[in-house]
């Protein structure tokens, strides 16, 4: 697996979270973020079940440019 680091939240300081990578072999996005709170989880499972091997995270709005960059880098050529 070859992960290309796209960037991390510029306001996170030394905490290192949230962050975004692109898996160069599969073009999957890899995202690190803050675990969703109980209220968010309760709401999200109304639309989509949450199996044990998945999780819900939150990314701040200021991460949108990094997500766009990651998406552009993961698009098929």
pLDDT for the residue numbered 76: 67
Place of tokens 């898996």: 23
* Structure-token pair, residue 30: 């890899």
pLDDT for the residue numbered 77: 60
Return the domain boundaries, the chain: 3-74
Report pTM: 0.81
Q: What is the mean pLDDT of each run of 10 residues along the chain (77 residues)?
A: 90 82 91 94 96 93 91 75
Q: What CA–CA distance (Å, rounded) separates 27 from 77? A: 11
């Amino acid at each position: 697996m070859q992960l290309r680091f796209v960037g991390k939240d510029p306001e996170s300081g030394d905490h290192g979270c949230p962050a975004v990578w692109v898996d160069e072999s599969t073009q999957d996005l890899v995202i690190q973020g803050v675990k969703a709170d109980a209220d968010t989880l309760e709401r999200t499972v109304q639309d989509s079940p949450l199996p044990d091997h998945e999780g819900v995270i939150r990314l701040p709005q200021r991460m949108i440019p990094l997500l766009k960059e990651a998406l552009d880098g993961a698009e098929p050529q």
